[in-house]
Each structure stands twice: as structure tokens, then as C-alpha cells.
Amino acid sequence: MTGILEGRAAIVTGAGRGIGRAIAESLIAAGAGVIVADNGASIGGEGGDPTVARETAAALGKKAIAFADSVASPGAAKGLVEMAVKNFGGIDIVVNNAAILRDAFVFRADPRDWDAVIRNNLSAAFYLINAASAVMRDQGKAGRGGAGGYDWGRIVNIVSSAGLYGNLGQAAYASAKAGLFGLTRVTAMDLARAQITANAVAPFARTRVTDIIQPANEAQKTYKERALKIGANHVSDLVTALCSPAGKSITGQLLGVRGREVFLFGQPRPVARIEAGSNLAQDLGAKLSDKFTDLTTDLEAFNTEPLV
Ligand SMILES: NC(=O)c1ccc[n+]([C@@H]2O[C@H](COP(=O)([O-])OP(=O)(O)OC[C@H]3O[C@@H](n4cnc5c(N)ncnc54)[C@H](O)[C@@H]3O)[C@@H](O)[C@H]2O)c1
């Protein structure tokens, strides 16, 4: 992939560590300049440490610039895009990867935690897409890339299988990620004419988040052992592929990546149809139950040996 993104500018949120850092590293290896946006917060989003973004940017070399504030405000999103334009002459790639977790059963959860997770994991992605896509569209019209003809953009939203299957105690996190998938679809539609793609990627990789899983049973213990074998480099390979020129016709898709396995997920569409009559309650069970979706969690669905 060396050189395929030469002259391109990217913003990667949550790039100070974990999957985001791997993505930043891979985009830089492909030639892009990258803003490493990370406030260095805890897994729950508390506190902050500006050295996380700064040290990562320093380690990634001259093409990396640190942004150490929280990305979860419209002002920060605008500031990030301005930083990209000032330092790299534009903005071509946005990867919404930053996320926090505040798990609790739905009957115990604190509404303030819900608000924080939705703002951090969903609204922040909207703020950045909103700010960056306006500039991307203008760049396209102005022919950014000149003779190279590069006048398109790439948006990748990092979602989670928890937002697709659901998982115990993850109401806020799963809702934010499901919402991020909805945002991906509409972004892909709104930006199709501008040749800007938007895709969602559900990753699996060993990070500080998998390291702190406390298995509650044998199945979870096995899941954790398997999760710890999976490198984040596979996620960054997929994200960089989507951001490459060859990714231009891929948009509005939901992909998953777990080691060397790459999944294309289906998207919800009606799987059965009945005509409502006077016995609707009875008909629902009698005519549709063989098509009902069970309550398998994402952790159960992906508790298989990964290809690493
Ligand atoms: N690790 C996995 O297996 C897995 C599975 C499913 C989904 N994901 C998703 O992948 C992404 C990366 O996860 P990870 O495991 O690398 O997590 P991580 O906690 O290691 O990294 C996330 C980074 O985001 C930063 N961050 C959080 N909120 C921020 C904010 N408001 N502003 C700036 N930076 C902020 C944190 O400081 C942290 O460095 C997340 O979106 C996560 O939901 C990961």
C-alpha cells in the first residue's frame, strides 16, 4: 500500500492507542498525513492525558500531528478539520474510532452515563462528518489532487458487533454503535454524488478493552482467550483498503474484521410479510415465529477460533 495515499490528509479519532493507533500507522505507511486525535481518557471516558496523542504522534513521525482535546463537540470537530486544512492542505479521510464504555444493566444504568456514551460514540462522529464533508465536497469541486485527479473522500465509522447483535449490559454502547451504522447509511447516500464513500467496520482486536474483560463463565473465558490472539493490524489493513483509490465503489456497507477474516454483514430488510387481520396477535406467533431473531449476543456469535 506504500504511496497510494501520498498527499492525502486524514483525521483518526481515538488514534492514541489500540485500534485507532494501528489505523493511523497504516494510513501513514500508505503516504497520508494523519491527525492523531485522542484525549487520553480512561475506558469510561473519565479524565484525560494529553501525552497519549503527543507521544503517539511523535512515534509515528513527521506525518502525524497530535490533537489532544476531546473530539466530542462541534467546536472540536471544526478545529480538527481546520487543523487538517492548515497542515495538509485539505481533508480526505475521516475515521471515527474514538469510543468509551459505561456498561450497566438497563434497569440500573444512570441516564448521565447514557448521555455521555451517546455524545462520545455517536454525536462526535456526526459532528466530524458534518464539518469534514462540507470541506470535502468543496475540494471535489475545486479538483483537489490536481493532475492526480483525486477529488473524492473516505469516511469510515468504527462500529461494533454489540450494536448489531446486542450484548448484556451494553444499552448505551450498543445503541450508539447501532446509531453510528444508521449515520453511515445516510452519510453514504448524502455524499454519493460527491464521490465520497462512507462505510462501517465492526472490529475485533486485542486492546486495553479486551484485556480488562472479567469472564463471568467458561464461554466468556474462552472468548477472552481467543480475543487476545487478534492483532489490530488486521483492522487497519481493512480501513486502509477502504480508503485507497480501489475502494471508490464501496459505500454504505457494513464490514467486520477479526484477524484475517473479513465479513460482509447483511443489513436489516423484511424477511417475512403477513397481512394484518382481526387475529393479528395470534398471527404474529403462528405465521412469523419461525423467522424471529433469537437473543444470541455478539459474544456468543463470535466465540469461534479466529484466523490469525
Ligand atoms: N477492541 C475490540 O475488540 C473492539 C470490538 C468492537 C468495537 N471496537 C471499537 O473499536 C474502536 C477502538 O477501540 P479500542 O479497543 O482500540 O479502544 P481503546 O480504549 O483502546 O481506544 C479508544 C481511544 O479513544 C480515545 N477516546 C475516547 N473518547 C475520546 C474523545 N471524546 N476524544 C478523543 N479521544 C477519545 C481514548 O483515549 C482511547 O485512546 C472503538 O470504537 C470501539 O468501540 C473495538
- Nearest-angstrom CA–CA distance, 145 and 160: 33
Ligand 1 pocket test target in 209, 211, 297 with most atoms within 8 Å of CB: 209
pLDDT tens digits, 9-68: 999 999 999 999 999 999 999 999 999 999 999 999 999 999 999 999 999 999 999 999
pLDDT tens digits, 238-283: 999 999 999 999 999 999 999 999 999 999 999 999 999 999 999 9
Closest CA to 247 of 150, 142, 127: 150
Q: Do the strands 196-204 and 153-158 form a parallel or antiparallel pair, or are they unpaired?
A: parallel
- Nearest-angstrom CA–CA distance, 118 and 96: 14
Closest CA to 91 of 70, 57, 52, 65: 65
Contacts of 121 (CB under 8 A, 6+ apart): 98, 99, 100, 173, 176, 177, 180
Q: Quick check: is 274 in a domain?
A: no
Q: Scanning the structure block, which residue is given the C-alpha cell 447509511?
A: 185
Q: What is the CATH number of the domain that holds 208?
A: 3.40.50.720
- Nearest-angstrom CA–CA distance, 135 and 141: 10
Ligand 1 pocket test target in 49, 96, 97, 258 with most atoms within 8 Å of CB: 97
In the chain, % of residues over pLDDT 90: 94
Q: Indicate the pLDDT class of residue 72, thresholds 50, 70 and 90.
A: very high
Q: Quick check: is 238 in a domain?
A: yes
Q: Are 155 and 143 in contact (CB under 8 A)?
A: no
pLDDT tens digits, 92-128: 999 999 999 999 999 999 999 999 999 999 999 999 9
Q: Quick check: is 307 in a domain?
A: no
Q: Are 49 and 40 in contact (CB under 8 A)?
A: yes
Q: Quick check: is 196 in a domain?
A: yes
Looking at residue 127, its amino acid is Y
Ligand 1 centroid vs 129 CA: distance in angstroms? 18
Closest CA to 23 of 262, 260, 238, 181: 238
Contacts of 135 (CB under 8 A, 6+ apart): 81, 85, 90, 91
Q: Is the pTM of this model over 0.95?
A: yes
208 lines ligand 1 (CB under 6 A): yes
Q: Quick check: is 278 in a domain?
A: no
The overall longest dimension of the chain from CA atoms, in Å, is 69
Q: Quick check: is 3 in a domain?
A: no
| DSSP letter (8 states) at residue 290 | G
CA-closest residue to ligand 1 atom 20 = 18
Ligand 1 centroid vs 281 CA: distance in angstroms? 43
Residue spans of alpha helices (H) in the chain = 18-29, 50-60, 74-88, 111-118, 124-142, 162-165, 171-191, 208-211, 218-227, 233-243, 280-288, 298-301
Ligand 1 pocket test target in 25, 38, 119, 157 with most atoms within 8 Å of CB: 38
Q: At what angle do helices 18-29 and 50-60 cross, to 10 degrees?
A: 30
Q: In total, how many domains does the chain have?
A: 1
Q: Quick check: is 134 in a domain?
A: yes
Contacts of 215 (CB under 8 A, 6+ apart): 221, 223, 224
- Nearest-angstrom CA–CA distance, 38 and 21: 10
- Nearest-angstrom CA–CA distance, 142 and 138: 6
**What pLDDT sits at residue 141?**
77
38 lines ligand 1 (CB under 6 A): yes
Name residue 153's beta-bridge partners: 196
Ligand 1 centroid vs 100 CA: distance in angstroms? 6
- Nearest-angstrom CA–CA distance, 71 and 90: 19
Ligand 1 centroid vs 173 CA: distance in angstroms? 11
Mean pLDDT (the chain) is 95
Ligand 1 centroid vs 69 CA: distance in angstroms? 15
39 lines ligand 1 (CB under 6 A): yes
Q: Quick check: is 50 in a domain?
A: yes
For residue 167, pLDDT beyond 60 = yes
Cα–Cα distances in angstroms (integers) from residue 122 to residues 162, 189, 231, 276, 292, in the given order: 14, 18, 25, 36, 28
Q: Domain range holding 149?
A: 9-269+295-301
CA-closest residue to ligand 1 atom 31 = 70
Indicate if the alpha-carbon torsion angle 223, 172, 17, 90 is positive or negative.
Answer: positive
Q: Scanning the structure block, which residue is given the C-alpha cell 465520497?
A: 196
